[in-house]
A and B are shown apart, each in its own frame.
Chain A
């Protein structure tokens, strides 16, 4: 199956700082990637759809200026959490679309202190 990687797997940062999370498709090209967040014991919530070479499409309620998404190549999408606050602490997971399915990265656990 398709392999999606994420980096870092875990990050702890201080309030007010920015954190960048990378999502890579390792053995295929992904024109469309997705960013989700998941709170403990809750399901995944789609944050935005990232399209290579164009602006991301954000879900309602997701601040695009706070969660910056860049999909500059067919194998890399990045999510930058700007001016992070403790309430941004969560599990962030990316996925890449392959045909009609999605394959997920291993996730990034962000803790903001």
Chain B
């Protein structure tokens, strides 16, 4: 079983749609959680950290369920510029180390 698993995708959605990504992790000792986005042939960029209480940043909402070892990312009112691969990242500590990347879910927002 892979340490971090994500929806295989790709997701093709029209502009303005709401899309949700799911991620599960296998190590119950994981301490910190992130969503990164990666554009084609570019480096990953931090989208948001994920907290147990859930957090929101504009059109993006992240949720964490430690009991189910499940993380989600919701994008509302999707824009063409949201097209990218979304990477779920889980770390075993709170020190920015031991990152384990999920395989990513590709999103294409269509006009």
Contacts and interface: CB of A to CB of B under 8 A. Distances in A.
B43 A98 contact: no
Interface residues of B, number: 21
Interface of A: 1, 32, 34, 42-46, 49, 91, 93, 97-107, 109
Contacts of A106: 42-43
A97 B43 contact: no
Interface in B78-111: 87, 91, 94-97, 99-104
Contacts of B87: 43-44
Interface of B: 32, 34, 41-46, 49, 87, 91, 94-97, 99-104
A102 B99 contact: yes
* From B45, B91, B96, residue with most partner A Cβ within 10 Å: B96
B45 A97 contact: no
A99 B96 contact: yes
A34 to B, nearest CB: 7
Nearest to B91: A100
B83 to A, nearest CB: 16
B96 A42 contact: no
Nearest to B45: A104
